[in-house]
Amino acid sequence: MSGQIDSAEKESNPLLKIFATPFETPPFHEIRHEHYVPAFKKAIQMALGEIDEITSQKSRPGFKNTIEALSHAGERLARVSEIFFNLNHAETDEKMQQIAREVSPLVTDYYNDILFNKKLFERVKQVYHDRDSLQLNAEQRMLLDKTWKSFARNGAALPEEKKKRIREISRELSQLSLKFSDNILAETNNWFLHITDEADLAGLPQSAVDAAAHAAKDKNLKGWVITLDAPSFMPFMRYSDKRELREKVYMAYTTRCYKGNEFDNTEILLKIANLRLERANLLGYPSHADFVLEETMAKSANTVNSFLKELANASLPVARKELSEVQEFAANKGFDNKIEAWDWSYFAEKIRQEKFDFDEELTRPWFRLEKVTEGIFELTNRLWGLTYKINKDIPVYHPDVSVYEVYDEDGKFISLLYLDFFPRPGKSAGAWMTGFREQYRKNGEDIRPQISIVCNFSKPTDTRPSLLTFNEFTTFLHEFGHALHGIMSDVTYSDLSGTSVYRDFVELPSQIMENWAVERDFLNLFALHYETGEPITAEMVEKIIATRNFHAAYATVRQLSFGLTDMAWHSITKPADTKPEEFERTAMQPVRLFRWIEGTMMSAAFSHIFAGGYAAGYYGYKWAEVLDADAFQAFKENGIFDKNTAQKFRQYILSKGGSEHPMDLYKKFRGQEPTIDAMLERDGLKKK
């Protein structure tokens, strides 16, 4: 059979073997750079052989011999891809990036070979035609619908010349997105502020000073180093008394990949936007947004734009008032300039400290990373009975990574969980959840998932353990919610597993977890001072709760500016030929709070939409806030540790993946469709 691996290749390439590791986890200790390209090529060959087996059948196309068989085809390729592309974000180097540029077109071609396989399309079309007579269950119907749409919406019925052009576009887009991401990583890693005068550290908390000293030591420099990684960049912008240095760091951050150098993304983002438009037009859609949003809860660009406008109407007046208050506060402190973007965090923090006697930096002692991890584990134990056991025998791709076995309430193994917390040169910025294997069932066996959380938290220093800010703690909760979506998946087909859901639904499990961050009864479980062991004080908890909505309108407007920019780039109906900086300025204008700074452009480093999966989908973060605020009301009504509510959330949301329509699932959990009211009330934006 063409899908088999010959013994010589098996022997020499660990990616092509059955993994002889605990739980068949990736054998990172055996994998070398030179293994990837041959593994991809062989896995693609195997997968195409499996497709040939489907199309060469003489029997009438049916669900099992066509749709289900197609779902299982390419399992080895999926495994190799999950390992390689995850590492290319979490532990990359120049060689890995070069390999990515070589294998991405191969993978793209493979998926196009499936999409444009006439015999396969005819079989899928026949099954779809017969669907009402096949007695399919809800998940089977969803898989059939998703499979049919993957062909019908993506050009399977197009003339050959159009198919050829779509192939070309897909290949080019895969390369451009990789280059876009590589450029951001390079720009982030290449820039740093070297401080040699201790006076330039004025205002910085000791934790930021220690981290800067540690960063300098890593670079074999004397003094202190500020980088563009979030744990360094954000405290500097918030606390540094040196305005000229805040401006310098801000400009470095907001001009990433927009400096006219080898890492400039200007032309790349234009090409990506225009190629997406061309592909959408070939497929019969006016814009890329129209194409994408057809398969979302929102369904259309009009719905999304109306939603963003409704939020802007509610938040923009309040945000402008917040900005005026910050300007007035600064003036009273002797600041005689207009508040600029690099001043906002600094003076906003001063107001928060004065108004609430609260400095977020002072939350760190109670959020030691190890105790936070234990606390989140305990929360999931109280809600769902989950337990975690570290396994040091499972291979990892970096010494910082730890792996846990996850068990259900009845002691049944349900998942592995990889935790990777700290910044390093080979890791992309931000925080995300991913997986090295999805959950699915095959031949009666429930294949359990291997889930990973990757973050960029403050590293331990020579004098202190890793202590999180309250915001970092909330980020951890967010990503853990995504992880639970994967861990608790209970479906038959990997295509519908875990986070394989509509883009504007995927953030519900993550964002609902953030609500526990301000719950006193939860914080009391684990928030112990790292030096004294004393529980977090009632006063500190009250301050965290009191400041929860501090400048919530500004935060909403900031998110809306990103959402509007995303929608603008992907709503074009003719090729963009304007300067991207001007295009972005126009897109953000309806919610602009600060003057525009010439030479800055967020789009050039907007990896979510140009190198990630959020094109025409960034609004989904705010959309999901509507869902999570409404959903958490059920916990507030019944108790934040209520097992019955948690079980319903698991039954209808976490375990179902994409096996049913998300609104149907939500209504089964909540009993009704969500409204925007709970979110506006939570954020303090609801009119009295």
For the chain, what is the domain count?
A: 2
32 and 134 share a domain?
yes
* DSSP per residue, 492-557: S-GGGSTT-S-TTTTTHHHHHHHGGGG-HHHHHHH-B-TTT-PBPPHHHHHHHHHTTTTTHHHHHH
Backbone angles phi, psi at 74, to 5 degrees: 80, 25
Whether 11 is in a domain gets the answer yes
Is residue 216 a contact partner of residue 186, using CB atoms and an 8 Å limit?
no
Residue 478, CA distances (Å) to 452, 459, 474, 517, 633 in order: 13, 19, 6, 10, 18
**Considering only CA atoms, which of 130, 145, 19 is closest in space to residue 83?**
19
Q: Which residue has the tokens 């019955």?
A: 644
237 and 133 share a domain?
no
Statement: residue 613 has pLDDT above 60? yes
**Considering only CA atoms, which of 106, 87, 114, 111 is closest in space to residue 33?**
87
Q: Of the residues 136, 157, 178, which one is the last residue of a structural domain? A: 157
**pLDDT score of 684:** 81
151 and 196 share a domain?
no
Residues marked active site are found at 479
Q: Two tokens at 653?
A: 């949301």
Whether 311 is in a domain gets the answer no
Burial call 387-406: b when 16+ CB within 10 Å, e when fewer: ebeeeeebbbbeebbbbbbb
The residue type found at 373 is: T
Q: Of the residues 157, 183, 199, which one is the last residue of a structural domain? A: 157
**pLDDT score of 1:** 36
Whether 152 is in a domain gets the answer yes
- Rounded to whole angstroms, the Cα distance separating 156 from 139 reads 24
Statement: residue 8 has pLDDT above 70? no
**pLDDT score of 412:** 98
The pLDDT tens digits for 461-493 are: 888 999 999 999 999 999 999 999 999 999 999
DSSP code at position 296: S
**Considering only CA atoms, which of 492, 490, 476, 405 is closest in space to residue 443?**
492
36-64 average pLDDT score: 97
**Considering only CA atoms, which of 106, 115, 78, 96 is closest in space to residue 36?**
96
Is residue 273 a contact partner of residue 479, using CB atoms and an 8 Å limit?
no
116 and 221 share a domain?
no
Statement: residue 496 has pLDDT above 70? yes
- Rounded to whole angstroms, the Cα distance separating 345 from 240 reads 10
The pLDDT tens digits for 572-600 are: 999 998 899 999 999 999 999 999 999 99
Whether 102 is in a domain gets the answer yes
- The domain that holds 116 is classified in CATH as 1.10.1370.40
- Rounded to whole angstroms, the Cα distance separating 616 from 502 reads 12
Using pLDDT thresholds of 50, 70 and 90, give the confidence band for residue 4: low
Mean model confidence pLDDT for the chain: 95
The pLDDT tens digits for 229-280 are: 999 999 999 999 999 999 999 999 999 999 999 999 999 999 999 999 999 9
Whether 507 is in a domain gets the answer no
112 and 228 share a domain?
no
Classified as helix, coil or strand, 434 is strand
77 and 140 share a domain?
yes
Whether 40 is in a domain gets the answer yes
Whether 600 is in a domain gets the answer no
* DSSP per residue, 63-129: IIIIIIHHHHTTHHHHHHHHHHHHHHHHS--HHHHHHHHHHHHHHHHHHHHHHT-HHHHHHHHHHHH
117 and 40 share a domain?
yes
Statement: residue 10 has pLDDT above 80? no
Residue 110, CA distances (Å) to 44, 279, 382 in order: 7, 18, 45
Is residue 590 a contact partner of residue 564, using CB atoms and an 8 Å limit?
yes
**pLDDT score of 458:** 86
**pLDDT score of 7:** 54
Burial of 385 (0-12, 13-18, 19+ CB in 10 A): middle
Integer distance in angstroms from the first to the last C-alpha of the chain? 70
Is residue 96 a contact partner of residue 87, using CB atoms and an 8 Å limit?
yes
The pLDDT tens digits for 122-167 are: 999 999 999 999 999 999 999 999 999 999 999 999 999 999 999 9
149 and 201 share a domain?
no
Whether 78 is in a domain gets the answer yes
114 and 232 share a domain?
no
29-38 average pLDDT score: 97
**pLDDT score of 682:** 84
Instruction: Give the H or E element holding residue 649.
Output: helix 643-649
Maximum Cα–Cα distance for the chain, whole Å? 84
Pairing outcome for strands 450-454 and 413-420: parallel
Could you tell me which residues come within 8 angstroms of residue 6 by beta carbon, excluding any fewer than 6 positions away? none
Domain membership of residue 114 as a residue range: 7-157
231 and 116 share a domain?
no
Residues in the chain: 688
Using pLDDT thresholds of 50, 70 and 90, give the confidence band for residue 548: confident
Statement: residue 3 has pLDDT above 50? no
**pLDDT score of 5:** 53
Statement: residue 430 has pLDDT above 80? yes
Answer left, alpha or beta for residue 166, where phi above 0 means left and psi between -120 and 50 means alpha.
Answer: alpha
153 and 197 share a domain?
no
The pLDDT tens digits for 391-406 are: 999 999 999 999 999 9
502-528 average pLDDT score: 95
Statement: residue 2 has pLDDT above 50? no
Residue 160, CA distances (Å) to 167, 498, 669 in order: 10, 35, 46
Q: Of the residues 231, 254, 277, which one is the last residue of a structural domain? A: 254
For the CA atoms of 631, 637, 640, 645, the dihedral, rounded to the nearest 10 degrees, stands at -60
112 and 224 share a domain?
no
